[in-house]
Structure 1
Amino acid sequence: MLKYLSVILLLPLFSMAQTPNWINKILSDNLIRLPVYSVDTISTHMLYLPMAFGQSNFLDTNGVSHLQNADILSVDLVFTDYPASNNLFALNAARFISLLQLIPFIHHQSFTQWRVIRQMDGKDANSAALLKHGFVIHYRNSVTLENRNKELIQIKQTVTSLTEIKKTNAIAKATASSEPITKKQKVRYWDEIYGSTSSPATPTFYINNRPLLQVADTPFIHLTEFDSSFSIPTNIAIQKRILTRRQVQQYQKTQQLYCLVGPPRKWEEDTPKRSNPSTNAIIALPDTGLLHSLKSLPCKNALVIADVTASMSLYTIQLLHWLQQMDSLHCISTFACFNDGNDIVTEKKVVGKTGGVYTAKYVNMAAAAGLMELAMQKGSGGDTPENVCEAIIKALEACNNCEEVFLIADNYAPVRDIVLVNQIKKPIQILVCGGQIGVHPDYVTIAATTGGSLYFPNLVVKDFSALKNGGVLKIRSLPYKLNQKGMAEVAPGNSPIN
């Protein structure tokens, strides 16, 4: 323990006067306490610049060159609560100075979010040394034609796969209802065969002679020519006992599941042949957070507004999965998407008149995907801020009788036209995409001002009364307050929480 303390004591002590004011302000106002810091690697590029415990020099600076022309979305200084009696201000100021020396332009972009993360699980020197120390930087590179085309291909592939699954299910249902079962047919629906795997006690389930390989709450895409996928109500899957105990707990709030089955069994053989799931060319969704949030929404005469700017394809694909499931309920009235200006240069983007908003009466998932593709071909957003309020206002003009309004929002993108928020006259249910700590203040402003809500994979925020009463509201570990203009902003880390 003494060697760790000596390292801290021997650090050069940067005084408040020696440290730039913007660094002092970040260290004073942006402190967040978490048990352990978890890195978001899903929705953006991430660069981790590690430092040793108690040190202010970098251990590895590989990858810094990628930041040269990138939009720097957030910078997190990560350290541990040891020694707990020390605020570690001098050490962290030295770390910021090292960052500034390494990346002189790191603070030039006004939309960059800064956080100081104090991990509380480092209770002693040994445990603290095992946790992350240094800077975690989330960034996005400039959009290229290659990247845009790649995202368009992903959308097309998803639509094709979902359409094929729908056709397969319809054919299977029609065949099952029209063809009588004869003695020659070996239809074994929900048949349990023991001893057909490596473990004699493990059952293999067969559905219409086909071995069940996998169960998930999202459709399987890009199957092999021998495999098939179909949907099944969750309660039926539980009744037939094809789910493990863990799966029952995992999917108990899900109304519909998807089954992956292998090729039909040849019953004349003694041992049933079963496809190996690991060899199937299945592309699983890398993230299903948005899909789970969407499933919790009350869908009735709804308007869906989707951000389709660059880097949102991961969430666009999840949205398509949900739209496919909603098609049979006929609960969506209008669909809209936006690209922040149809590729016009930033200098020509006028608040309220940026453009790039596309709306249409909702027909089905495939038609909505076509509108998305059109918007994506016309533009990719360009800079990081986006014309979110303009998109909401234009979409509401196309659907003024809609009862529910859902916004698929990029958590890392500031709202360029937040000054228009008071022109939005209906509650906006915002599904926040990306990030694990807090939410961009602009989306707090929209939800609080319109009487809407914020949806995260494991959290829904509907009550903003604390903000309206002049207090502070904590959302995913970050405190928020309203400023004099009525706009939400991150409150200083030492603000009392209501």
Structure 2
Amino acid sequence: MDGTRRNSQWWLIFILQIITYNVYAQSAEQLYFRAAYRDVHTLEIDSTKHFFTLPMAYGQSEILELPEANDISRLQIDSVLLVYTDHPKNFDFSLLNTNRIHAFSKWFDGAIDDPVIRWRIIKQVGGENKQDFTQKFHGIVVYYDKHKRQDLSPEEEVKRRKHIDNKFHHLVKKKLGEDQQLTETTSKVFEKNRDVWNKAVVVSDWTGSMYPYTLDLLSWLIKERAQDQVIGFVFFNDGDTKMSHQKKIGETEGIYSIRSSKVMPVMNLMSMVKRKGDGGDLPENDIEAILKAEKEYTDANTFILVGDNQSTVRDIELLPQVKNPIHIILNYAPINHLGLPKVIKDYKRIALATNGSIYVNDQEFTTAEEIEQLEELVLDDQ
């Protein structure tokens, strides 16, 4: 047994926690000391069972990749392995590994206290130097039963969604430094079209005021266990930090894509694109981003553009190159005296030319006649 893992300092913490924690609630620290413990040369995953992994970097406790929502939704977890390596030798890994349990519990609520779930702490001891150990798996392995959990009651479902909202809000603040209230603009449109839109690619304006609209969609995909509905995201910021005179039509760049709808990889890309810049001026390279999406996702069935109705489309002249219907979700539009939204003419042109649609202000315009009746919004200085 790892002697340093159970040193006197941690035994004191353990005893204090027994006294101070609710008798019915187990902490990550308590679980760590109570779980079964085993040394192995190198972890061998039992591939005859249903499992998924939550990899973490050597010496780190952040989950690098979450499985697809439909792989984990309401599945009965049978056992959990917390896997680490014995390097440096004789090091106290207690804090690192309890942090890893905390990271797991943030996404798998109740797993620490569930009496059905068996926990094991696996220490890999095979290796001569740091390189040997860093190449081994670190993180969590989850074995689960193929039978799904029973549907939640309405009260339990409300609690589950609220819990996800809280975790998602915390993640957005941590990863993006954003504390904006999410709108339900994008998610409402997806909810209406969830039986029609599949293998979708979301092309999103990722500048300033547009953050809440795609984050809203990502949160909805988790809550609805619908991450398999979207196969990828393309974010564009109109050239990173390029000056206006440096932006050539079709070569403006500042476009980044990811073939995933898993929250952690997508959030990591969002953070990176945000750091790259916001293009400086107001017009955006929407069409260049759409063309990149069409080129990279030839297997997609649906293309959605999340656009800013306060910015014109810089490269609208590239529109004839677009091959697929583009369904446009706009952030907001002022209304005219008839109660119809005013939309920048570029978005009307995109929807009409591609046989697409426009969604804005909780209204949908899906036919050419409906789109043509929209009044054009004229912006100053663009």
- TM-score, structure 2 length as denominator? 0.52
SS at match of 1:402: coil
CA contact (8 A) 1:300 1:404 kept: yes
Q: Distance in 2 between matches of 1:302 and 1:175?
A: 37
SS across alignment from 2:312: coil
Question: Percent identical across equivalent pairs?
Answer: 27
Deviation per CA, 1:166-203, whole angstroms, max 9, x where unpaired? 94462426855727xxxxxxxxxxxxxxxxxxxxxxxx
8 Å Cα contact 1:430/1:452 also seen in 2: yes
**Structure having the higher Rg:** 1
Amino acid at match of 1:362: S
Q: How does 1:73-88 map to 2 (within 5 A)?
A: none
- Name the structure 1 match of 2:34: none
In structure 2, the residue matched to 1:199 is none
Equivalent residue for 2:363, pick from 441, 459, 470 = 459
Q: Secondary structure at the match of 1:430?
A: strand
Closer/same/farther in 2, CA of residues 178 and 360 from structure 1, 3 Å limit: same
The aligned residue for residue 236 of structure 1 is 153
Match for residue 333 of structure 1 among 231, 235, 238: 231
**Cα shift at 1:293:** 2.5
- Identify, as 1 or 2, the structure richer in helix: 2
Corresponding residue of 2:98:
none
Residues 118-146 of structure 1: CA distance to partner in whole angstroms, max 9, x if unpaired? Answer: xxxxxxxxxxxxxxxxxxxxxxxxxxxxx
After superposition, residues 113-128 of structure 1 pair within 5 angstroms as none
Per-residue CA deviation, residues 453-483 of structure 1 (Å, 9 max, x unaligned), is 111242111011467xxxx513xxxx35xxx
| Counterpart among 330, 352, 368 of residue 432 in structure 1 | 330
- Give 1:293's aligned residue: 189
Match of 2:289 in 1: 391
Alpha-carbon distance in structure 2 between the residues aligned to 1:396 and 1:428? 11
Paired residue for 1:448?
Answer: 352
Q: 1:381 — aligned with what?
A: 279
Give the aligned length.
Answer: 230
* 1:372 matched to 2:276: no
Match of 1:178 among 103, 113, 116: 116
From 319, 335, 342, give the equivalent of 2:240: 342
Counterpart among 361, 373, 376 of residue 473 in structure 1: 373
Residue type at the aligned position of 1:413: S
Structure 2, unaligned stretches of length 5 or more?
Answer: 1-64, 66-101, 118-149, 165-178, 336-341
Secondary structure of the equivalent of 1:392?
Answer: helix
- Partner residue in 1 for 2:19: none
| Corresponding letter in the other structure for 2:183 | D
User: 2-side partners of 1:166 and 1:284: how far apart?
Assistant: 26
Match of 2:145 in 1: none
* Contact persistence 1:334–1:362 (CA under 8 A): yes
> Quick one: distance in 1 between partners of 2:250 and 2:210?
22
Residue in structure 1 matched with residue 222 of structure 2 by the alignment: 324
How far apart, in 2, do the equivalents of 1:386 and 1:287 lie? Answer: 22
- Measured against aligned partners, the alpha-carbon deviations of 1:349-405 in whole angstroms (never above 9, x if no partner) come to 111111111112115111111112222211212110000001100111110120011
Aligned partners of 1:173 and 1:422: how far apart in 2? 52
Give, as a single letter, the amino acid of the residue that structure 2 aligns with 1:236.
S
SS at match of 1:312: helix
> Kindly tell me: are residues 350 and 291 of structure 1, through their superposed partners in 2, closer, same or farther at Cα, counting changes over 3 Å?
same
Q: Distance in 1 between matches of 2:106 and 2:272?
A: 28
Secondary structure class of the residue paired with 1:448: helix
Distance (whole Å) between structure 1 residues aligned to residue 114 and residue 350 of structure 2 = 49
Please report how far the alpha carbon of residue 337 of structure 1 lies from its aligned counterpart in structure 2 after TM superposition. 0.4
Distance 1:340 1:173 in 2: 43
Measure how far apart 1:433 and its partner are: 0.7
Q: Secondary structure at the match of 2:343?
A: coil
Query: Structure 2 CA distance, aligned partners of 1:305 and 1:340?
Result: 13
- Report if aligned partners of 2:182, 2:213 keep a CA contact under 8 Å in 1: no
Q: Give the secondary-structure state (helix, strand or coil) at the position aligned to 2:329.
A: strand
Query: Secondary structure at the residue paired with 2:204?
Result: strand
Q: Is the Cα–Cα contact under 8 Å of residues 308 and 339 in structure 1 kept in the other structure?
A: yes
- The equivalent of 1:47 in structure 2 is none
In structure 2, the residue corresponding to 1:292 is in which secondary structure?
helix
